[in-house]
Structure 1
């Protein structure tokens, strides 16, 4: 009996190498396709960064313009294929090029200056919304038919409001009328990024309003999804058996029902974590927040190819890494997944 139990345990604990190998091949191809599209898509747009720069600075000589095009990888003497190969050579060396809209600074330096603001704000807001929505949805699903069901249409209604309108409404109420919170920006005027309490408290104060609107706008989706999954799980036989054995309701709720109902939420949460890097463009525009989303919009308007490609690269990698993490976690939490795909 001990030998049989050991075999069963080893079989359950076996690492799903075949499943992970298939996913690795899939994501490798996806990465190549995304980076290839990342190269060609900006070049399909009308105009380029150099032309826009020359329109603003007409005293630039033709020789300087040609040198600038060569520096940005837009040399007309090279074919599109040669530019594509140069693009991959630079990527493999970790060189994302230079940004013409930021004073010819390295793209990696420009992105690294905006990335912490987006991750800090959108990341914290996403985690809060997921945690509150998932726990709340599980409890509401468990207490189905009670007055707690009123939270579902309320939070869903908030999710249907256009984000820019919700942000402007929050600014009007809490910043203009009540004067409780600052209108926008990431920190107060006159402060510089340091590890001082004045700067940190200013960052927190400026982040409360945009973070709260993100939570309110996304809370309904998490709560509704978890509540619906709980209603499905509660009809399963193992829940009925657990309750018939006299297990405490709290244990049945969190150990059996919520643990299985949360599995589909993991994939959605991973996607949300991946898209955190892209930021929320509308939010950053409404609150004048110096994040990656606003930077991407500005780079698109300036036709800054290098910066656009750098931001797209970071977003692509973050989404792929988040999906890989979700697939691995899902495979270990739910053995049916790897058994189906193996």
Structure 2
């Protein structure tokens, strides 16, 4: 119980520090971010004045010269607890929460599924390569490592050039066909098929770029685990090779990879910025770039906050799972 209490306390303190940093960053920038955003909103609104409620919301999120820092900090926490992340200046008058809610499912489905696929492939193939170490299967390690060492954007551009431009098998950019987008609240099979087709090349880019790390790590852990005493004892007892490979070697060799998988799952929400930019995919990564390019402070803060909360939640979840899987973590953690 003390292990879980320590972990929860650690993540609560880290969450408070992240939110506080998110509050302070715009206020440490030169000038007044609130006045800059209000001016941009007025220009986007054709020079017409904006409501006082909107001005109050912006100054509460980004700060102003009026009021003490503590009052702004308390007001900031109050709005966060109500789910108010402010209003985007680049897409006025759209709320930041709505923009993130629109982009988040695309990133979670694409990057999440691709991350799970690459992890499963890396663990399964890596366990088999480690079990058959010294054979031709070891050649899979440098092959997958080459893909991992290739820059993300270059691999994405090669896939686009080959499969989209030359062969015409997949779309070049976007997350769906505009004409297949449903007019009503219900999705159509045409839209789902279009979204899947548009996601194949981005997902392939993520899998090819990340599977090598999982495979190499699992292969090395498998080789190390096979020399442990409990594996040697299992072999001396005459257990079948399949049972030794799955129940004794692979199961224990995969434990260290779970920690890395938890971190990878946490960063799923951050998206793959380069990949989403190359394919113009409507996810969180593209939204983040647009917020930086447009100096949209409220949107930048909102995206940063969502990413931080998700990473911390994923790591807390994996710490809990890790404590159940490996009892040693509860005593040493």
Verify same fold: TM over 0.5: yes
1:41-80 correspondence to structure 2 within 5 Å: 41-46=25-30, 48=33, 51=36, 54=39, 57=43, 60=47, 64=50, 69-73=55-59, 74-80=63-69
> Is the 8 Å Cα contact of residues 35 and 313 (structure 1) preserved in structure 2?
yes
> Is the 8 Å Cα contact of residues 97 and 107 (structure 1) preserved in structure 2?
yes
Q: Does 1:37 align with 2:21?
A: yes
Instruction: Give how far 1:177 is off.
Output: 0.6
- Of stretches 93-102 and 149-158 in structure 1, the one that deviates more from structure 2 is 93-102
Instruction: Give how far 1:64 is off.
Output: 4.6
Q: Which residue of 2 aligns with 1:221?
A: 213
CA distance in 2, matches of 1:49, 1:195: 39
Q: Does 1:173 align with 2:159?
A: no
CA distance in 2, matches of 1:274, 1:104: 30
CA distance in 1, matches of 2:10, 2:139: 42
The DSSP-based 3-state class of the residue aligned with 1:99 is coil
Q: Which residue of 2 aligns with 1:106?
A: 95
CA RMSD of aligned residues (A): 1.9
The DSSP-based 3-state class of the residue aligned with 1:105 is coil
Q: Which residue of 1 aligns with 2:153?
A: 164
1:1-342 correspondence to structure 2 within 5 Å: 17-46=1-30, 48=33, 51=36, 54=39, 57=43, 60=47, 64=50, 69-73=55-59, 74-193=63-182, 194-341=186-333
> Is the 8 Å Cα contact of residues 66 and 75 (structure 1) preserved in structure 2?
no
Structure 2, unaligned stretches of length 5 or more?
none
CA distance in 1, matches of 2:168, 2:177: 15
CA distance in 1, matches of 2:247, 2:68: 61
- Of stretches 291-300 and 126-135 in structure 1, the one that deviates more from structure 2 is 291-300
Q: How many equivalent residue pairs? A: 324
CA distance in 1, matches of 2:38, 2:293: 12
Instruction: Give how far 1:186 is off.
Output: 0.5
Instruction: Give how far 1:269 is off.
Output: 0.4
Return structure 1 stretches of 4+ with deviation > 6 angstroms. Answer: none
> Is the 8 Å Cα contact of residues 37 and 296 (structure 2) preserved in structure 1?
no
> Is the 8 Å Cα contact of residues 132 and 219 (structure 1) preserved in structure 2?
yes
Give CA-to-partner distance per residue, 1:265-320, whole Å, 9 cap, x none. Answer: 11110111110011011011000000011111111222222222221121111111
Aligned CA distance change for structure 1 residues 296 and 49 (closer, same or farther; 3 Å)? farther
Q: TM-score, normalised by structure 2?
A: 0.92
> Is the 8 Å Cα contact of residues 272 and 285 (structure 2) preserved in structure 1?
yes
